[in-house]
Amino acid sequence: MKGKSKDMGSSHDSEDFIRLYARHEGRLRRYVSALVPEPADVDDVLQETAIALMRKFDQYDPSRPFLNWASRFAFFEVLQHRKRARTRRRHFSRATVEAIARDYQQHEQLAEQRRQALAECLRQLGVQDRRLVELRYASDETVDSLAKRIGEPVARLYRSLARIRRMLADCVRRRLAVET
């Protein structure tokens, strides 16, 4: 099989690429996370995507949005990854991946509004619920370890968190419905 070259372009290009990539990595990661359910796979796909982008960087038209261009590579790597990865890990079906990818850009357009709405909705949570959100999300700790530490049965903690998330999702939706 003919090997592909490690083509990095000129060193000037490399710096431009790094700058662009650094700026957009977070959003690219979110895109991949929507298409790939397993977090470990997300990292693998991103790494492959980054390399592919770097190798093809000389084909990128700087007058165009970087993220649009990069997302196409990411999408391709998602599909490639599905072919390569072992069966033990779960993947969305191909049709699902394509459907999510199609809807993603439109959904993203309201991302900032949703974030602000979420901040507002958080302030409206009851005191206990706020505390749970802080405990769960403001540190690295797993839910199981958290449950042990605060003395709650694990199943009950998962249910509470699910309930809170659902309330937040509902609240965000209603706020956006009002504003749009």
The interface with another protein within residues 138-177 (CB under 8 A) comprises: 138-141, 143, 149-151, 158, 161-162, 165-166, 168-170, 172-174, 176-177
Q: Which residues from 40-99 bind another protein, rule CB under 8 A?
A: 40, 43-44, 46-47, 49-51, 54, 84, 90, 92-93, 95-96, 99
Q: Are 82 and 91 in contact (CB under 8 A)?
A: yes
Q: CA dihedral defined by 161, 163, 169, 174, rounded to 10 degrees?
A: -150
Nearer to another protein, 40 or 72 (CB): 40
Q: How far apart are CA 115 and CA 174, in angstroms?
A: 13
Residues 6+ apart with CB under 8 A from 118: 168, 172
The one among 56, 103, 124, 156 contacting another protein by CB under 8 A:
103
Report in angstroms how near the CB of residue 129 gets to another protein at its nearest.
11
Closer CB to another protein, 60 or 114, in the complex: 114
Q: Which of 56, 72, 115, 156 binds another protein (CB under 8 A)?
A: 115
Contact 31, 71 (CB under 8 A): yes
Q: How many residues in the shown chain lie near another protein by CB under 8 A?
A: 82
Identify the residue among 60, 100, 129, 148 touching another protein (CB under 8 A).
Answer: 100
Cβ distance 41 to 89 under 8 Å? Answer: yes
How far is Cα 50 from Cα 42, in angstroms, rounded to an integer?
12
**CA 30, CA 105: separation in Å to the nearest integer?**
12
Site for another protein in 118-137 (CB under 8 A): 118-119, 122, 127-128, 130-131, 133-137
**In the bound complex, what is the minimum distance in angstroms from residue 37's beta carbon to another protein?**
6
